[in-house]
Structure 1
């Protein structure tokens, strides 16, 4: 028997391991994928228990987390964890900026950029100065300023016997928000604000090494070209270096011009290196681009660029109108653009409280909106419109209440909700792992700073309820992305029966309609009758 059935204990042990693995993965939880996707959280008590376990699993220090979830359909609070403690919200502040601007300015509001002249046009010549005036357009791009120049050319203008007067009096001269840590930072997420801006107040610098055996200095291009930007190059070509090692520095600004120093080593042959850098003087940079486009279109200018104000009796030559405010806010929230939010904040201050538009006036408008929907002053502290300041504070309860009122205000709710990134699909949430097969159920705004992670928005659950939630994490005690993924997944799978709560839902809907009607009635005078900007 031993001869025909040898005992090889190693092979027997391997067979046992394979058998247990096969048996484990052949269970219904793993073999049937439908069971996984059809899993439902069918009661509030189960949801609370699952969320509590998820918080304990992903947070070593639970006090670092502030979280709240509320049903916006029924009105009851589903879960609360330190929801009345103020936390740093980071870019979740953009939720307040966007809702307040949609509330006060209307979704159809648009920005303009104008060119004026004092003297009339005679035989293709403008005798005197022309005035380039901005009204805070946050999405004024290179192709838009080219359109302005083309319109001037189509008007028959061939010569301007004066200067280009740059007018940025619609905003104040403060370029950065309160509490920003600039420290000569060359990151494009922290650029100065101005009433006359171009390309998000940044410039693209390209370094081209050239052909293989070409030992000449590399070609450096500025896009778009402007006389307000100068480049100093200390780049060396080295045959022994395989990859480019370049550093970009802002040396100093003389005569209100940005001078960038580029130094380092590049190989004899390589790819073009592109670097986008922030500028210091936005209005002069925009005027410099305007001047170069005039020259390209054979429009002669005898003067130079100056800073001044447009006289009241000036005549409008050409105008550029931006997209609607709702589409601009969509760009802002999808990609968390700090520059757009600061421009909108100052525009809000200028339109509601007069010139010049300042951050303080804009913040006053945001606070007035928060007070009007019943949020106490002890629930928040805001110092900018983008969330870059670490002095900002808000409670998850206040954030969910803002989301609640925005959802039930029919005048702009669809514009705001569509501006939020979709989980795992687009915007700042495009790289997140998909939650389930059902997509487009989570729309939320992200927020990041050093030691700060936040996510606030809406979840459309299985049973048709709309849930509002806010996750604010301050400190390194929680796994932010993992916790947010689990929380939104469980909220999405929430599928309680609403038959027992039918009466309360009807009462809740009537109550919310009454609230929205009183809000509209009380704030009707503040709601501008026209969506056109005030041209002071």
Structure 2
């Protein structure tokens, strides 16, 4: 069953596992478009156009030089039948290699669709290492992960219910968790020193519930306190059950809780909760990620009525173990919606590692980089090759040019998986990380007519995707700000979206010195 946002309690967690959407507001501009030509087989864009005046003004106000902005805006289809060249409406710093943050997920998801197929499934398998008599397994129960990017609490509970339906209600041995499908090390230091932020959760061959705990706060004004609950259950976890309500404003409500996560199994909230907040949820990465899966598995096995004599531990599946059942994941076509719309980092890394694990050996970042590189050179000959690290954009080393991203977007739109790929992107002002555009661009033709992937790092603000112009022409748009003041200039990205959508003004002809 596919769980939709309205009834899936893990929707907010999936969103929290990504980086923040663009949040700054900015003025709008409708500038006269420039139409030029760009030979996409060249190492760089030979044609460039002046940036719209409003964009230049925003950059100046934020003290960001125009050289910190890379842009390519090009109409679809990709190539002119007459010349074989790509018509470009706007190009600026198109061949400059920059870090586009989470926009890098476009490479991972499109490569996944191309190499694995939209119907690709991950299969979590359960084995018995011993005979089963009268509901009792005399031996170990082995749960072998496949790298499923979204094995959340509801699906894990269904899996354990199926185990019981297969005849195992008591395990007189251990429950063994086999995550050997991936060969990855846990990150020694969290990204930007934020270990409890869900976006820092690392990949795992048996990734359960994103290694995160969601704390739910439900006020009871009549009793003057807020009830604190958590999901999923973890064996031995104790949490402060309730807190007093306060009349404080809801801003910065998490700080007011005075949370203490220093002891992984003893979570304390020593402050108060603002009554004005209503019901809220707080997703937190579990402080001891290596212990998370065993604690969740133990609690949930007992939660469905199962009995266990031994312990829950990590290990490998014995060769003689007998397959009891397998549980398929959601198809890749659904998985990439969470990756792109919600900018889910760990799901992107799971998919990226699967590019190599599906070849038979344990998935490794290095091997996935090789496979994606080979795919890129075959599918995009002559185009500048992107530099990937973990496939999510949560990296300081990942790089691409606006030119390469444009080539990918153009080809994806013309390919057999175009509807699936476009549907995975956030719709401007409607959903995902682009929902806030409705507030920043009210009454704009962009709203509901752009399909976007956004990106954000400390010194990066980016957006890429498709924009429907008022003329009926659809465009690919790639814009990356790479500067310490990037976030102060994010309004420039909104202005580029607006400028692209307002394309009904007759284009001016390129000056002779710019024509290729």
Partners of 2:341 and 2:424 within 8 A in 1: yes
When normalised by structure 2's length, the TM-score is 0.77
Question: Which of 311, 315, 318 is the equivalent residue of 1:308?
Answer: 315
* Structure 1 residue 409 displacement after superposition: 1.9
Partners of 1:197 and 1:282 within 8 A in 2: no
Partners of 1:198 and 1:282 within 8 A in 2: no
Which residue is equivalent to 1:225? Answer: 233
What's the CA shift string for 1:175-226, capped at 9, x where partnerless? 349x9625252111111221112222211234678787799xx875432211
Partners of 1:239 and 1:268 within 8 A in 2: yes
- Cα distance in 2 for partners of 1:394, 1:484 equals 18
Which residue is equivalent to 1:413? Answer: 418
When the two structures are aligned, how many residues end up with a matched partner? 448
When normalised by structure 1's length, the TM-score is 0.74
Equivalent residue of 1:428, what SS? Answer: helix
Partners of 2:33 and 2:89 within 8 A in 1: no
User: Unaligned 5+ residue runs, structure 1?
Assistant: 1-38, 253-257, 499-536
* Structure 1 residue 242 displacement after superposition: 8.9
- 1:327/1:297 CA distance change after superposition, 3 Å: closer
- 1:328/1:434 CA distance change after superposition, 3 Å: farther
Which residue is equivalent to 1:323? Answer: 330
Partners of 2:194 and 2:200 within 8 A in 1: no
Partners of 2:216 and 2:279 within 8 A in 1: yes
- 1:425/1:133 CA distance change after superposition, 3 Å: same
Partners of 2:446 and 2:501 within 8 A in 1: no
Which residue is equivalent to 2:294? Answer: 287
Q: How does 1:197-346 map to 2 (within 5 A)?
A: 197-206=207-216, 221-227=229-235, 230-231=237-238, 245-251=256-262, 258-266=264-272, 274-280=281-287, 282=289, 284-346=291-353
* Structure 1 residue 266 displacement after superposition: 2.5
Question: Which of 34, 51, 68 is the equivalent residue of 1:64?
Answer: 68
The answer to which structure has the higher helix fraction is 1
- 1:305/1:90 CA distance change after superposition, 3 Å: same
Equivalent residue of 1:189, what SS? Answer: helix
Structure whose alpha-carbon radius of gyration is higher? 1
Alignment partner of 1:103 is 2:94:
no
Partners of 1:113 and 1:319 within 8 A in 2: yes
Equivalent residue of 1:192, what SS? Answer: coil
Partners of 2:422 and 2:451 within 8 A in 1: yes
Partners of 2:31 and 2:53 within 8 A in 1: no
Which residue is equivalent to 1:186? Answer: 196
- 1:436/1:267 CA distance change after superposition, 3 Å: closer
- 1:417/1:375 CA distance change after superposition, 3 Å: same
Which residue is equivalent to 1:423? Answer: 428
* Structure 1 residue 357 displacement after superposition: 0.9
User: Unaligned 5+ residue runs, structure 2?
Assistant: 1-29, 37-47, 81-85, 508-516
